[in-house]
Amino acid sequence: MTAQEVRLCGLLLQEHFGEVVERIGTHLLRGGAQNLRTIANETNTPLDLVKKSLCVLVQHGACEFGSGRRGPGSPVEYRASCERVLRVLRYPRYIYTAKTLYGDTGELIVEEVLQRGHMTMSNTVKTVADRLTHNMEEGRSMEYSEVVSAFSKLVETHFLQRCPPVAEMGTAATSITPATPGTPAASASTAPPTAESNPDCYKLPHVTLIGRGKRRCSSDDSEEQRGGKKAKMDSEMEFVGKSGDSGGGMYVVNLQRALANLARATLESVVQERFGSRSARIFRLLLRKRHLEQKQVEDFAMIPAKEAKDMLYTLLSENLVQLQEIPKTPDHAPSRTFYLYTVNQLPTARLLLQHCYKTVANLIERRLFETKENKRLLEKSQRIEAILASQQASGAEPEQLTEVEEMITAPERQQLEALRHHINKLDSTENQVDETVFLLESYIFSTKTK
Amino acid sequence: MAGRGRGRGRGQMTFNLEDLGIGRGDSLPPTTFKPSPLFPPMPVQPVPLQTGEEVEYMLALKQELRAANKTLPFYIRRAAPKRDVDRYSDKYQSGEPKDSAIEWSPDWSRLPKELCIKVRKPLAKRHPPQVKQPKKPLVGKEEILTKLETLEKKEEAVNSEEEEDGEKKKTNEEEEQAEEEEFEEDFEEDTDYIMSYFDNGEEFGGDSDDNIDEATY
């Protein structure tokens, strides 16, 4: 958990669950596994609030509990996980993907489960069906079976996953007292209620595999497809490789390499946008050729010496490029050492990921700041909207409505408009930075698990 | 000897200045008098944001989620800070939930026992001082149903809690104290006077004490 990650997690927790949970959550993230009393003491929070917050965190999967370090008799310890909290940024994208694949029903199911952490199937189906019925026209109602089928499809494609049962905690010495009567009886569904949740298996559909998937290229394929595959093979991307000739040719989709290439493209585009196209050329050169001396960089990139030196030093100061010393003599004299410039893709990707986290945290803080600055104005406009709505509901004349609307002056209206525009922009930017975060995280994760 | 070298050229240093890239005859960069600006002008502008239906939809989703989160029971607010004087309206105007119980019902089989506040049976041994005392059942429903029992237990719990667990519970749990005080007024006076005869003038507000001797009609 880097400092940037913890800061971002704190802001996300604060936005979604309030300050109390944020305090407990950041404390857990910084301090590792702790038990209940330690948390309460160190954060100076009343015990009941700590318990409530822990319930919320565990419900949403941000925190896990396990038996303590000193064996089964010691108090329960809680651990928070950074990654799970950071997923909160991605909720809109999950919901939108579910919508495009499974329609409104799928969208609502996913939204409900995301908001509640984990839920039983019967609860979800009931809530979603009621919501849909509420939004439909009079006389029509949503069938539970439709919702159930959408739910099952989501489970099959791993959008939703069943929570594993949790072992009883602290049962060694004390007698087990079942806290509440067992799982509530299912209301609508036939099967025993299963609690479903969205763990980190919840990725956008096209990247769920780490490793290789085989796809049979049958001879029934159209010519285009085969031509396309061949072209893919020939290109440097190497997403698809040939792995044997049985059955007319077996092809392999190498996701790891795909991710690496995507990450590389991201890095290159970052350099291009921030430092210009010539620096980007140098960067690409170094990625391809690994280690180069300064003179060679100038030659290959076809950039005059002075500018090349300048750009290299800028990239070096930003840590995007590293310097590798290769001594010729055992005394490492500077005049007799090779200094080679190099780019390591993985550490650079990690660096960029941390920059992204910092960016998102800054965006959130700026948005909170803007909201706070204009709190008075926002509250006024909300009150006026409420008045307008109630007047319209009770059937008022147009003069009364205009009178109420005029309570906001024109410059205030402009200010409100500008504020909304800014907040929308900041929100939208968060969503887009999250795309880059997803890409880089997937790449880094894929290199870890081998 | 100490003065040797002073005043000659730019001054002698222990390292070679040329290694830093500042050769002889070059002028140094201008000295700075204040910290660097907070938002320095950017050499290149960032790429404009994406637009499109997808982006707009996700933006709307995000804002709706944020707004909806505030209404869910998962959003935990601190109890309102205690005002300097207890007001009469506090009894009737409790907007914030004064209970310390959870407003939603999680699946307790998936949570460790110690997080459950409603349980009235003795907790596991990790709370040794309170093993004998049942946890304060401050949930509204249970109070209504078994009010007398609750009050009695609470009295015991209050007494023992104040003795044994003074460190955290007292100062921080304002809402519990507020409730305790409500009952303390009526029960914990060690006097011989029957409480119902005593009118300390609080609920009437504004009467001066001089008129108590006058007969009540």
Per-residue pLDDT tens for B39-79? Answer: 888 777 778 888 888 889 999 999 999 989 888 888 887 76
CB-based contact, B100 to chain A, within 8 Å = yes
CA distance B83 to B81: 6
In which band, very low, low, confident or very high, does the pLDDT at B124 lie, cut at 50, 70 and 90? very low
Contact between A49 and B78 using a beta-carbon 8 Å cutoff: yes
Task: Give the pLDDT of residue B159.
Answer: 65
The ipTM is 0.75
Does this chain's domain A3-80 share its CATH topology with A259-343? yes
Instruction: Report whether pLDDT(B190) > 70.
Output: no
Task: Give the pLDDT of residue A284.
Answer: 92
Instruction: Report whether pLDDT(A273) > 80.
Output: yes
CA distance A141 to A138: 8
Q: Give the minimum alpha-carbon distance from A407 to chain B in angstroms, rounded to a whole number.
A: 25
Contact between A170 and B112 using a beta-carbon 8 Å cutoff: yes
- Which chain B residues are closer than 8 Å to A117 by Cβ? 74
Interface test with B, best of A52, A271, A425, A438 (most B CBs within 10 A): A52
If contacts are CB pairs under 8 Å, which of residues 135-194 in chain A contact chain B? 163, 166, 169-170, 173-174, 177-180, 182-183
DSSP output for B140-179: HHHHHHTHHHHHHHHHHHHHHHHHH-TTTHHHH-HHHHHH
- CATH fold of the domain at A259-343: Arc Repressor Mutant, subunit A (1.10.10)
Instruction: Report whether pLDDT(A279) > 80.
Output: yes
DSSP-assigned letter for residue A323: E
Helix (H) or strand (E) holding A56, with range, is helix A47-59
In which band, very low, low, confident or very high, does the pLDDT at B183 lie, cut at 50, 70 and 90? very low
Q: What is the 3-state secondary structure (H, E, C) of B177-189?
A: HHHHHHHHHHHCC
If contacts are CB pairs under 8 Å, which of residues 189-218 in chain A contact chain B? 195
What residues have CB less than 8 Å from A182, skipping those under 6 apart? B109
CA distance A62 to A80: 6
Task: Give the pLDDT of residue A140.
Answer: 65
Instruction: Report whether pLDDT(B207) > 80.
Output: no
In which band, very low, low, confident or very high, does the pLDDT at B175 lie, cut at 50, 70 and 90? very low
- Which chain A residues are closer than 8 Å to B63 by Cβ? 427
In which band, very low, low, confident or very high, does the pLDDT at A221 lie, cut at 50, 70 and 90? very low
CA distance A41 to B7: 62
Q: What value does the mean pLDDT take over residues A385-413?
A: 81
Tokens of A287: 């990625």
Instruction: Report whether pLDDT(A187) > 70.
Output: no
- A376 or A184, which is more confident? A376
Instruction: Report whether pLDDT(B6) > 60.
Output: no
Task: Give the pLDDT of residue A259.
Answer: 87
Instruction: Report whether pLDDT(A175) > 70.
Output: no
Contact between B109 and A40 using a beta-carbon 8 Å cutoff: no
Task: Give the pLDDT of residue A423.
Answer: 93
Q: What value does the mean pLDDT take over residues A278-304?
A: 90
Task: Give the pLDDT of residue A162.
Answer: 77
Instruction: Report whether pLDDT(B173) > 70.
Output: no
Interface test with A, best of B61, B70, B125 (most A CBs within 10 A): B61
- CATH fold of the domain at A3-80: Arc Repressor Mutant, subunit A (1.10.10)
Level-2 CATH architecture, domain A88-176: Orthogonal Bundle (1.10)
The domain ranges of chain A are 3-80, 88-176, 204-253, 259-343, 351-447
Query: Is the CB of residue A23 less than 8 Å from the CB of residue A159?
Result: no
In which band, very low, low, confident or very high, does the pLDDT at A210 lie, cut at 50, 70 and 90? very low
pTM of the model: 0.69
Tokens of B34: 């204040």
Q: What value does the mean pLDDT take over residues A23-52?
A: 88
Q: What value does the mean pLDDT take over residues A266-284?
A: 91
pLDDT digits (tens, 9 = 90+) for A43-96: 888 888 888 888 888 888 888 888 777 766 777 888 888 888 888 888 898 888
Of B102, B107, B126, the CB nearest to A52: B102
